[in-house]
Amino acid sequence: MDKDLSPRFGREDVEIIARAPVFQGFFTLLRVRLRHRLYGGGWSEEFERELFVRGAAVGVLLYDPRRQLVGLVEQFRIGALARSGGPWCLELVAGMVEDSESLESVARREVLEEAGIAVDGLHHIRSYMPSPGGSSERIHLFCALVDLQGAEGYFGLDQEHEDIRLRVLPLAAVLEALETGGGEGCAIDNAATIIGLQWLQLHRTELESNH
């Protein structure tokens, strides 16, 4: 049994033949012509794929270990227009990483903009690619231990058309929804929030004892 999780091939086993923008707006879409090595030997034929180009993003789970409260943001999401529960989603605080910014500084900036809270310490959860079949985006998740008493309110930047509601919820209720929910009607149905909450389930005892 192979215990090595590393893929057989790497970047050097892909040949990019052409790369051209199909669309450039709020996001960028590229058409890429390429070929790559095959498991059976040799190279594939040339073929095309569209690539949705997004840079790195940061997501922050807000947790109050003293009161066992979770802070999530509720806001309109264009990708959820057809969702049966409607396009307002419960999510982690999140934002895109700009050039030369550290992940930690982005996390602190976004928590201040979207929740009005100044954050000191951050616990790194993990990073992952949400949809590598067609998108270049990588998300970096953190947990911030904060005081959420009386923290609910409305936030966001007008110039970015943000209308954000900070929700403060009992951890027990959030975890119950995570376990019993699912499907398009569930309020918590995006990967970053689910991963962050599952991490909290595993590490909450440690976080609460050290706080």
Q: Which residues are catalytic?
A: 160
CA 74 to chain CA centroid, Å, is 15
| Three-state DSSP class for residue 198 | helix
Beta-ladder partners of 47 = 34
Q: Measured at the alpha carbon of residue 99, what is the angle toward residues 96 and 105, in degrees to the nearest 5?
A: 60
| Three-state DSSP class for residue 155 | strand
Cβ within 8 Å of residue 129, ≥6 positions away:
135, 137, 138, 139
DSSP result, 11-64: GGGEEEEEEEEEEESSSEEEEEEEEEB-TTSSBPPPEEEEEEE--EEEEEEEEE
Q: Are 89 and 109 in contact (CB under 8 A)?
A: no
